[in-house]
Chain A
Amino acid sequence: MSVSIKIDDVVKRYGANTVIKGLSLEIRPGEFFTLLGPSGCGKTTLLRMIIGFNSVEGGTIAIGDRVVNDIPPSKRNIGMVFQNYAIFPHMTVAKNVAFGLKTRRMARGNIADEVGKILRTVRIGDLAQRMPTTLSGGQQQRVALARAIVIKPEVLLMDEPLSNLDAKLRVEMRDAIKGIQKDIGITTVYVTHDQEEALAVSDRIAVMNGGVIQQIGAPAEIYRRPANVFVATFIGFSNIFEAEMSAAGPDGSRSIAFEGGYSVRVGNIAPESGARRVKVSVRPEEFEVLSSGEGIGAKVESRVFLGLSTHYFVRTSGGRRVEAVLYSDDERSFKDGSDVVLAVRPERINVFGFESERSLTAEAGR
């Protein structure tokens, strides 16, 4: 029953300004798919092209087997949850949810049943007769979701649905959304600029920047093996080092030489790369912070205690500012001004071309 969405070489133009030039993407049936990127990256533009509020200037968008380019939004059978919820303020919760069923001329008794059922699914069954203005942000969010899915759309679109909620509610609602999506198994496209949210809810994520898809993959894949420096720094935090990579040795492994003479051997670089200057990304939690031994020499400048973990801001002997994280209950702890050594775990780091900033790691997602 779930359908796929095939986006093939689509183009979006505003006058002379081309915002999206030839973007292709396939979303699998029943998948929770997220478009993630900084504001202005084209993610909402693409979402609005899928539902039809934005015209398509080139290429095709197909939902299931049906190319929808020229089908008006009202006939596409897509449910949408808007950033500001767009709850009709003059109707009760029940009337809001019933709205789409009425336009579909469902019998009155059936409408009442469906509305009751869906309100229980999103756990606001007791709010049916309330006016929207009396609801909290989270409750309004649930109404918007109920209204979008009660029409049994083929596809559900969500445009930054959690951005208006406070931090705690955001976590609660994203889990609720994920749970409901799993239960009804609907193909869902979700837009957000919040990488943590994307990692938490998605089956797969497309990271976008400047109207171009940077990487598509499962959350863990994108986090561990970013396709380029942009993804490495946009998803989570990464320290970027400049380093020298040697040519492949007899076993295919290479040495990566950091500043101050520290080097490690890595075995997962694509064979076609020769010796060259590279950029290396290391996440704060991927360092081993030692008081002495082999590694990049550094001095602790400041620390931030965050309960579970403690963040160390250190300056390397080469003058680079680096962030490293240790569990707070780690037996090692370092005072401001103390000298430390940062060692990296070769299998965890990511290596990118210096100019191209593209990953040189063999299994990195494309």
Chain B
Amino acid sequence: MRAGRYRGSSPVWATITVAIMAFFVVFLLFPMALVLYKSFVGADGSSLSLGHFAKFFHQKYYWITLVNSFRVIVCATLCSVALGIPIAYFMRTAKIAGKGLLEILIIVSFISPPFIGAYAWIQLLGRQGAITKVIDAVFGVRYNGIYGFAGIVLAFTLQSFPLIYIYVSGALKNMDSSLVEAAESLGCTGFRRAATIVTPLVMPSILASSLLVFMRDFADFGTPMLIGEGYKTMPVLIYNEFMSELGADDGFAAALSVIAIVITTLVFIVQKRIASMNAFSMSALRPIVAKRVGGLKGSLVHAFVYAVVLLAITPQAVVIYTSFLKSNGGQVFVPGFSLQSYASVFSGANGSAVWNTYRFGLEAIAIILVVGVLVSYLTVRKRSLLTDVLDTITIFPYIIPGSVLGICFLFAFSRQPLILNGTAIILVLSFAMRRMPYTIRSSTAVLSQISPSVEEAAVSLGASEMGSFLEVTLPMMAPGVLAGAIMSWITAISELSSSIILYGNNTQTLTIAVYTAVVRGNYGNAAAFSTLLTATSIISLLLLFKLTGRREVSV
């Protein structure tokens, strides 16, 4: 390919474009294409057929998982909206005591690994749960635990409402108080004002975030796997089919993956449409000021906000508490506190899980930083047909459910010429690919704020094109890039759905260790692993707040 084809770009940038493109072709397009191909290859291994898809849609045992997925997700999304909107509204418009801490707790409950919520609720409301025992004692019943539908919805809701909160809160922040005042001067106040002015204005944010919740929960594997029991959802089926001890059916697993991708892609397209409908590009000259709400009304508002936030943070609290409990060395807790769970998770094979998490995470971030920054630079500053294609391709990792990406990788890299199966590299690459979008998006956002004339000035003063990028643009991008990288990091270390498929004996990570410990019933170790994970996330989050000077995350 000749460099001259790239408009306004030097051979160096042309080479980089091609290299980045090659990276995505090998580690994203090729695995996806392979899965697509496999899904259409018949049982005989050569002819093309729709057999795998027919199998899925003909047998209730299979298609019911899709119905199940939709049922829990629709339910959880509605619950998340019902919690997220009022909390955002109250936090913006009313003076709430301890607001700063509440904001942090909401974000912490959002960034902690989803399945930890599921496992903590099992500890509370499962068959042997602490609350279950109380219920049984008080009512003299035998409560069977919150498994299945209710459990999944509970865990999903508490995990997802913060996303709605973050979006709606952001929209309310951009709303000028004069809009509210104008309504008031025209005689419209209270609930009526909230319904006719405020809600329609934040509706695009509500819809956009609802669909993000939908996508996120649809792709979540850990939660339904742990708390779902007989209630199987689509990602659980994909995992089971792929890992089946009866001999995995590659073609069928591939077909399931394709179905999942189609669904998330459709949701994503609708989400994009709705987000772009946000035509009221509002910017607040005078943002809405939180007012003191007194009396019964104030008490109710406080009670509601605190109840929801406490509920959302309960899993973390339970996990941290459990991690310090004394056990008999196995699965049974005995009275008293000890650090024995921590001693256990740092020793031997367990210890390597801790070490692996940080190592893989950092290596993935290194890849993400280099590739992410270059991708955003190319798509913003060196626009061409090829970089537009690149721009589109980099959306896929965001859309593809983790377990599906895991399967794509395993199919693609279990054979010549590239055998990565069971290595650390395949995990690092999958983390990098899955969590790249955070960094690309925040880099792109900050880059589009930087005037190209800054770079032109550097060039006019004699800097080379690459020099002006490295010495002028890159330092200016740094804060935005780092903010994105921290979000990439936080989400990478809590990754489960792809790593559960890709890990090998020597490449366990914390999330996998938690999962395995929970499955084995070793709640002490699971709690200690989880606490390490949560602590890392919180420290990273505080670092992010410090760096950006704001108590916000971009999602």
Q: Which residues of A contact B (CB under 8 A)?
A: 51, 53, 72-76, 78-80, 82-84, 86, 88-90, 99-100, 103-104, 133, 147-148, 151
- Say yes or no for B243: interface residue by CB 8 A criterion: no
Interface contact A82-B187, CB-CB below 8 Å? no
Most chain B CB within 10 A, of A76, A86, A104, is at A86
Chain A residues, CB < 8 A from B196: 99
Chain A residues, CB < 8 A from B183: 88, 99
- What's the Cα separation between A72 and B193 when bound, in Å? 15
Task: Find residues 179-218 in chain B having any chain A CB closer than 8 Å to their own CB.
Answer: 179, 181-189, 192, 196-197, 200-201, 203
B177 to chain A, nearest CB (A): 9
Interface contact A74-B187, CB-CB below 8 Å? yes
Known A73-B181, A89-B280, A133-B281; further 15 A-B contacts with Cβ < 8 A:
A53-B184, A72-B184, A72-B189, A73-B185, A74-B188, A78-B185, A82-B181, A84-B176, A84-B178, A86-B178, A86-B179, A90-B201, A90-B203, A103-B192, A133-B280
Task: Find residues 232-289 in chain B having any chain A CB closer than 8 Å to their own CB.
Answer: 279-282, 285
Q: Which residues of B contact A (CB under 8 A)?
A: 176, 178-179, 181-189, 192, 196-197, 200-201, 203, 279-282, 285
Interface contact A103-B187, CB-CB below 8 Å? yes
Chain B residues, CB < 8 A from A73: 181, 184-185
Most chain A CB within 10 A, of B187, B192, B281, is at B187
Q: Which residue of B lies closest to A53 (CB)?
A: B181
- What's the Cα separation between A104 and B195 when bound, in Å? 17
A75 to chain B, nearest CB (A): 7
- What's the Cα separation between A73 and B184 when bound, in Å? 6
Interface contact A75-B200, CB-CB below 8 Å? no
Closest A-B pairs by Cβ, 8 of them? A100-B186, A89-B280, A86-B178, A86-B182, A103-B187, A82-B178, A103-B188, A90-B200
Interface contact B188-A99, CB-CB below 8 Å? yes
In the complex, 26 of the A-B residue pairs with CB atoms within 8 angstroms, ordered by the A residue number, are: A53-B181, A72-B184, A72-B189, A73-B181, A73-B185, A74-B184, A74-B185, A74-B188, A74-B189, A75-B187, A80-B182, A80-B185, A82-B178, A86-B178, A86-B179, A88-B201, A89-B280, A90-B201, A99-B186, A103-B186, A103-B192, A133-B279, A133-B280, A133-B281, A147-B182, A148-B185
Interface contact B201-A86, CB-CB below 8 Å? no
- What's the Cα separation between A80 and B186 when bound, in Å? 9
Chain B residues, CB < 8 A from A83: 178, 285
A141 to chain B, nearest CB (A): 14
- What's the Cα separation between A123 and B185 when bound, in Å? 23
Chain B residues, CB < 8 A from A133: 279-281
Chain A residues, CB < 8 A from B187: 74-75, 100, 103-104, 151
Interface contact B280-A147, CB-CB below 8 Å? no
Chain B residues, CB < 8 A from A90: 200-201, 203, 280
A318 to chain B, nearest CB (A): 46
Chain A residues, CB < 8 A from B192: 103
- What's the Cα separation between A72 and B201 when bound, in Å? 24
Interface contact B197-A51, CB-CB below 8 Å? no
Chain A residues, CB < 8 A from B189: 72, 74
Assess A151 versus B200: contact at CB under 8 Å? Given A53-B181, A84-B176, A90-B280.
no
Chain A residues, CB < 8 A from B179: 86, 88
- What's the Cα separation between A53 and B177 when bound, in Å? 11
Q: Which residue of B lies closest to A133 (CB)?
A: B279
Interface contact B181-A80, CB-CB below 8 Å? yes
- What's the Cα separation between A78 and B181 when bound, in Å? 12
Chain B residues, CB < 8 A from A82: 178, 181-182
